[in-house]
Amino acid sequence: MKETGLVHIYTGDGKGKTTAAIGLAVRAKGAGLKVLVAQLFKEDSSEAKTLDELGIEHMQHSSKHPLFKKYSSKELMKEAGNCLSFVKGVFDRAKEEEYDVVVLDEIGPALKFELIETQELTRLVKARPEKTELVMTGRGFSSDILNLADYVTEMTMIKHPFNVGVKAREGIEY
């Protein structure tokens, strides 16, 4: 049987997209697979320490999330270039290091806020190493990207404490 890496997407407005992707990364590492976790818009996320302890390689593109920062058009162009460079670097590293699993956390918002173009991500996904399992998270995936996926899981928010004023808590939401 031919080994082929599949594409997973965790999306939706509910909590748990990153949590599911990190859980898959931990499971893969436990099975002896080589794993890379690449996170956009996160700086010193709570899971980074555990990834280090487990020997799971990770990278972070720590710019401000476009939902929370209003970029000027000049800043937005610069951020788009930085974001694209980061994502290309993740795919280049996946090829060079022959990772079995690559998690690309929060790529959805990068697409939604046009920090990376759908066509460019499509090209990168199709050009990834054949055996590499790719996990992408976030809101804002176009139908073109969803159609590339083998798995699409939508997290739906039914109730969330943020809506009644509870702020995000370290170790739970981030």
Q: How confident is the model at residue 20 (pLDDT cuts 50, 70, 90)?
A: very high
Residue with tokens 């929060």: 106
Mean pLDDT, the chain, rounded, equals 86
Question: What b-and-e string marks burial along 7-44, b requiring 16 or more CB atoms within 10 Å of the CB?
Answer: bbbbbbeeeebbebbbebbbebbeeeebbbbbbbbbee
What is the Rg, in whole angstroms, of the alpha carbon atoms belonging to the chain?
Answer: 16
What secondary structure does DSSP assign to 122-143, as a single string?
HHHHHHS-TT-EEEEE-S---H
- Positive or negative CA dihedral for 131, 93, 151, 53? positive
pLDDT at 65 over 60: no
pLDDT in tens, 119-162: 999 999 999 999 999 999 999 899 999 999 999 999 998 887 77
Question: What b-and-e string marks burial along 124-137, b requiring 16 or more CB atoms within 10 Å of the CB?
Answer: bbeebbeebbbbbb
Q: Which residue ranges form the domains of the chain, and what is each CATH number?
A: 7-162 (3.40.50.300)
Cα 4 from chain centroid (whole Å):
20
